[in-house]
Amino acid sequence: MKRIETRHPLGNADAFPEGLAVLREVNGRDICVLRDGDTLRACSAWCPHQYARMDGSPGEPGHIVCRYHGLRFNMVSGDCTNASGYSVEIIPLQTDSQTGEVFALTFDIVDD
């Protein structure tokens, strides 16, 4: 078994404004990318509360805040910090330091 990493281009880092979740698609899945200062983070785009899409939601330092009912998710752990029992999947990102291109990373386990 080995792990295969795939990089999915999301655009240049400059395309992501501070504090506003931007929608992207990775392998047919919607994700939200959020700038937090110099750091970009991403999570699944669908809020686990009532399954609304969170693009356009505001960010707070280290968090995305669903614009529908205000659930607040930590962008490192994915855990909801103001209601119990909810979490979002965190999507790892990588930025090319030369070009500024941002990639979402996915991993597959395959047989050797």
Q: Which positions lie near ligand FES, rule CB under 6 A?
A: 47, 49-50, 52, 66, 68-71
Quote the least distance from Cβ 40 to ligand FES, whole Å. Answer: 21
> Measured from the CB atom, is 83 or 96 closer to ligand FES?
83
Tell me the sheet residues that pair with 105.
7
Degrees (nearest 5) of the Cα angle 79, 88, 27? Answer: 155
Quote the least distance from Cβ 98 to ligand FES, whole Å. Answer: 37
> Measured from the CB atom, is 40 or 47 closer to ligand FES?
47
> Measured from the CB atom, is 69 or 77 closer to ligand FES?
69
Quote the least distance from Cβ 62 to ligand FES, whole Å. Answer: 18
Tell me the sheet residues that pair with 104.
8, 93
